[in-house]
Structure formats: C-alpha cells, structure tokens
Amino acid sequence: MTSSEIERWLDPEAPGLSLEARLAFGVHCALAVYHHPGWTRWAEDWLDGRAQAPEDAAAAHVLVLEDYRNHCFTDLPLDMTARTAADLVTSGAFLLATQPDDAALAPTIAAHATQAVWCALKAHPTLDLHEQLRVMLARFHRRG
C-alpha cells in the first residue's frame, strides 16, 4: 500500500470508492482507538455485514452520545477525539442506511468517514493507516 493509495482513501471526493468501503475504513480506524464495549460490538457487526439497519446505527450512536455525556468533564483530549471518530462513523452509517441512494448525501457520508480516520489518527498518532486499510480491505472483500 503506497502513500498515494492512502491519500486517495482520505480524499472524500476521490472517484471509484464506494461509500460503504469508505465508511468501513473509518469504522476500522475508529475501532483501533475507541473501546466502548457496546459500540465495539456494533462496529464489528457492521464490518461483518450485520447491524446494517438504521436502528442499529442509531443505537450505537446513542451509546457514543451517552459516553460523551458521562465523560465530558473528565476526558483527556485524545479520548474525546477517539469518541468523535466513533460518532462520525455511526452518523455516516445511519445516513447510509436511511438514504442509500441519495446522491446529495454522498459527500457528507464520505466526509464523515474521512474525518473519522483523521480523528483516529489524532487520538493515536502512531496508528498505521496502511495496516488499518490492508486489514479492512481483506475483511471487507471476504464478506463480499
């Protein structure tokens, strides 16, 4: 995986990448830095092709919002940034599940996925994006 390939995945306007694949990269990176048990279950299920209903994403989003509320005054900035990565991908998954064919939402969903990757990298500066992408692509292609 080259740096230019990573740059392509981080460009929300790059052609040829499906919204689901972009979101999968964001979810995979968020999983590397955000460790809420309920959200992690949703993310793993979503990556495996389960938990694709809008209700699943909405429930995961509520978990993240509750986590924000419970820790907003005690979090370290990096914890908040990891939570933001999870927030962005659950929002993107909800939009994709509710409006899969809405071309007007595509840039928003792509931006959510891209911003989630950047937040994960900010929360964990040594996160290896090449490895994250390699593992995500293998998993994503396995599920078909």
pLDDT along the chain (144 residues), means of 10: 77 86 95 95 94 92 90 75 95 94 92 95 92 88 72
Separation in Å, CA 62 to CA 9, 39, 98: 27, 9, 16
CA 53-50-69 angle, to 5 degrees, is 65
Structural domain boundaries in the chain: 3-143
Quote the CA–CA distance of 92 and 112 in Å, as a whole number.
Answer: 6
pLDDT recorded at residue 2: 64
Residue reference for tokens 């090449």: 130
